[in-house]
Amino acid sequence: MFVFTGCYDIGSIEILKGVEPGKWNNYNSKAQVFYALPNQLHKKSITDLINELAPDYIYLNSMFSLKFSLLPLWLKKSGRIQSSIILAPRGMLKRSALAFKPLKKKIFLLLTRIAGLEKLVTFQATDAQEQIDIKRFFPKATIVLASNLPGIVAGQPMFIEKKSGKLSIIFVGRIHPIKNLAYLLTVIAGLQGEINLSIIGAKEDPAYWEDCSRLVNKLPSTISANFLGEQTHDFILSQIEKHHLFVLPTQGENFGHAIFEALASGRPVMISDQTPWRNLGEKKAGWDIPLDQPQKFEEALHQAVHWNQEEFDEWSTAALSVAKNLMEQSDLKSNYYKLFS
């Protein structure tokens, strides 16, 4: 497998650590990854690279990227590449996602419809809602339903002490309005108890981060918020295990890998109802709450603050069970065979 990507993270001016840009990097003997420099992200270099590899399939892991989506689609349309193309919108056709930078996205969708995108690609939908979203814009599209590939599930939750009146919370997500950090900061401001919030994510929207910073500065002395910035995957997993509760009041996720990883670590989650993870409260694995009901977020957080050790352990075990059940019931292998055939 070959992966072509940029050598910078979103909003960063530093090359990714531990990689050699501008050349193929061996990734755990499982894939070759090309971390492209900016001067390698143009039509000729991408066309030459694709034709040199001559892949059977090209998997586009985005919907609205000029270099990583629109350009390969145009190359396919113009006959310059022959590979079959699979396009994964990754939740970008949700109404909540389309509300951000709507003009740019409307132009993109118009251009792709004019180009006959439905005839050029096979769409991957990761859940039933995404199938509906794709059909809304591309009625004649070929769509294969194949859920996201989850990660590793722990054998049992790692022990963490829980005392009533104390709660550690972790937020993992881009610092962007769609991830809704400001919403979380507003909700926790009214909590009673000793609260610690850790925030992990890239500052994708500096203006939004300034708004969040002002909310952090207004928090009462009993509530601390620590921004840990952008971190490696291993670091994030280790931090999730050190907190009692994962919270992400997102405006839209087509899967939510960080949500799964929290559950798979045996940590209850508190999320919005804009993800595929539903009915968590019935299972005592967490909560999925409508964003227009902030009082319910606060009530649930109040409950979590006052968990004792026995109650926390019960919710922790239930969270892990949700992740295990997903893995046991999944028919991912057959769906991905269908996608690449």
Confidence check: pLDDT of 233 > 80: yes
Q: What is the pLDDT of residues 43-92, one digit of tens each?
A: 899 999 999 999 999 999 988 888 898 899 989 999 999 999 999 998 88
Q: What are phi and psi of 119, to 5 degrees?
A: -90, -15
Across the range 235-249, mean pLDDT stands at 97
Q: Which two tokens stand for residue 200?
A: 């992990």
Confidence check: pLDDT of 34 > 80: yes
Please classify residue 44 by burial: count the beta carbons closer than 10 Å to its beta carbon, then call 0-12 exposed, 13-18 middle and 19+ buried.
exposed
Please name every residue paired with 25 in a beta bridge, in sequence order, or none if there are none. Answer: 33
Closest CA to 97 of 274, 261, 340, 314: 274
Q: What per-residue confidence (pLDDT) applies to 330?
A: 61
The listed range with the strongest mean pLDDT (6-20, 80-94, 96-110, 217-231) is 217-231
Q: Which residue has the higher pLDDT, 187 or 96?
A: 187
Are 60 and 84 a contacting pair, CB within 8 Å?
Answer: no
- Alpha carbons within 13 A on the beta-carbon side of 256: 29
Confidence check: pLDDT of 10 > 80: no
Confidence check: pLDDT of 178 > 70: yes
Angle between helices 181-188 and 294-305 (to 10 degrees): 60
Average pLDDT, the chain: 92
**Residue 138: count of CB within 10 angstroms of its CB:** 22
Across the range 158-178, mean pLDDT stands at 96
Query: Using the 8-state DSSP alphabet, how is residue 127 labeled?
Result: S
Across the range 164-173, mean pLDDT stands at 98
- Measured in whole angstroms, the distance separating CA 304 from the mean position of its chain's CA atoms is 24
Confidence check: pLDDT of 162 > 90: yes
Confidence check: pLDDT of 170 > 80: yes
- Give the pairing type, strands 24-27 and 31-36: antiparallel
Confidence check: pLDDT of 115 > 90: no
Please name every residue paired with 227 in a beta bridge, in sequence order, or none if there are none. Answer: 199
Q: What is the pLDDT of residues 285-332, one digit of tens each?
A: 999 999 999 999 999 999 999 999 999 999 999 999 999 988 776 677
Confidence check: pLDDT of 333 > 80: no
As a whole number of angstroms, the distance between CA 8 and CA 31 comes to 19
Question: What amino acid is encoded at 231 in this protein?
Answer: Q
Confidence check: pLDDT of 250 > 90: yes
Task: Please state, for a pLDDT cut of 90, what percent of the chain lies above it.
Answer: 66
Confidence check: pLDDT of 119 > 80: yes
Q: What is the pLDDT of residues 213-225, one digit of tens each?
A: 999 999 999 999 9
Which residue bears the tokens 């193309």? 85
Confidence check: pLDDT of 283 > 80: yes
Tell me the H-state helices in the chain: 43-53, 71-77, 95-98, 102-114, 117-120, 128-137, 181-188, 206-217, 233-241, 257-264, 280-283, 294-305, 309-329, 332-339
